[in-house]
Homo-oligomer: A and B are copies of this chain.
Amino acid sequence: KKCLNMQSQHKRKLDKSVQDDLYFDSYSDVTIHEEMIADSVRTDTYRLGITRNGHAIQGKVVLDVGAGTGVLSIFCAQAGARKVYAVEASSIAEQAMEVVKLNHMEDQVTVIRGALEAVQLPEKVDVIVSEWMGYALLHESMLNSVLLARDRWLKPGGLLLPSKAELFVAPINDLTVEERLGFWGTVKERYGVDMSCMTGFARKCIMNNDIAVSLVTVEDVLSHPCRFAELDLLTVTEEQLRSVQGSFSCACFGSSTVNAFCVWFTVTFPGEEKPLVLSTSPFKPETHWKQAVLYLDEPVEVMQDTKVEGEITMFPSEESSRHICIHVEFSIGDLKRKNKTFSIPDGYADVQ
């Protein structure tokens, strides 16, 4: 027996403040911070993005939204910021204070424990830095707090780090899942019991409406990436985030079977010469965000140049505004247009 996630399938509607408490609590454990800081694509790109914008940070005031352990705030202090306000709602703020002390930056960095929405700063800021991206970019809805910080605390003409986010999609053939489905055909050989009839049930369970967060390998991707949405973080509004929509059109590389869509994102740091991109693409080194995988109900055969087209809408779940939903309308080749709505399950944890 293996009892996994006993409560995860039981969805309840919790009120907003309870949701927020649970959300902030989830950042009070060390594991999540260890994973984020150990993600060197993430941490190095932020460090470089901050360093490259040193001219705009030198002698200026910075706000770090959701500062966590304070590492980005210290990068900004190292880049010469006169003052960094590190705002963090979870109890990890206490560790951030220790880290700031250990690095002798108490004069430059002030850690403020509280939700951004409730915090009062003594002055407006020149720069806002934040690592707000969740799974499939918008899970957790933390971007809303960054936009509020921008509207309330950023001086006109101030700098946002990062300043742009983009969303991509591609059809994939997820081989891991095909292997898992194949397992049921092997049981007879292994144990003398024919369990091949489980395959359909397994497909229904695995290819469900959950957004799976898993590593997609380059070999699984069946077309060039297609960008379906771009958010200019200096101008996008909370209202616009209630429905992030875009269309896509991909042409398949060759003969294969589409069993899922893969969604990922990039964020971009502005730069005088060349902007710096933090990418979670399956074509780039892996990050802790992995990719978001959306399974079709049925696999579809494709050939070279088969068109995979459609429209994607991302919106917060009604039950919990921090949970993201993804609605995909799509057509593959000449097949009838279909649609499916996905969401990240409660109590999300990667089973693999």
Which positions in A face B, CB cutoff 8 Å? 1-10, 18, 22-23, 25-27, 29-38, 40, 43-44, 47, 66, 69, 71, 74-75, 78, 95, 98-99, 101-103, 131-135, 139-140, 142, 180, 183-184, 187, 190-198, 201-202, 205-206, 288-289, 322, 346-349, 351
**Do B44 and A22 touch (CB < 8 A)?**
no
In angstroms, how far is the closest chain B Cβ from the Cβ of A62? 15
Q: Which residues of B contact A347 (CB under 8 A)?
A: 5-8, 347, 349
Contact of A195 with B43 at beta-carbon distance under 8 Å, contacts A6-B348, A206-B30 already known: no
Contact of A191 with B47 at beta-carbon distance under 8 Å, contacts A1-B140, A34-B183, A99-B197 already known: yes
Q: In the complex, what distance in Å separates the CA atom of A288 from the CA atom of B1?
A: 9
**Do B133 and A1 touch (CB < 8 A)?**
yes
Contact of A26 with B9 at beta-carbon distance under 8 Å, contacts A1-B142, A187-B37 already known: yes
**Do A288 and B102 touch (CB < 8 A)?**
no
Contact of A139 among B3, B8, B101, B134 (CB under 8 A): B3
Q: In the complex, what distance in Å separates the CA atom of A99 from the CA atom of B322?
A: 41
Contact of A6 with B351 at beta-carbon distance under 8 Å, contacts A99-B198, A102-B194, A201-B30 already known: no
Q: In the complex, what distance in Å separates the CA atom of A190 from the CA atom of B37?
A: 10
Contact of A25 among B9, B103, B131 (CB under 8 A): B9
Contact of A22 with B1 at beta-carbon distance under 8 Å, contacts A95-B198, A193-B99 already known: no
**Do B6 and A23 touch (CB < 8 A)?**
yes
Contact of A348 with B4 at beta-carbon distance under 8 Å, contacts A9-B25, A34-B183 already known: yes
Q: Which residues of B contact A25 (CB under 8 A)?
A: 9-10
In angstroms, how far is the closest chain B Cβ from the Cβ of A276? 16
Contact of A23 among B3, B43, B99, B192 (CB under 8 A): B3
**Do A34 and B202 touch (CB < 8 A)?**
yes
Closest to A12 in B: B7
CB-defined A-B contacts under 8 Å, sample of 15: A1-B36, A1-B131, A1-B133, A1-B140, A4-B349, A5-B347, A6-B322, A7-B346, A30-B198, A30-B205, A78-B192, A98-B197, A99-B197, A102-B195, A102-B196
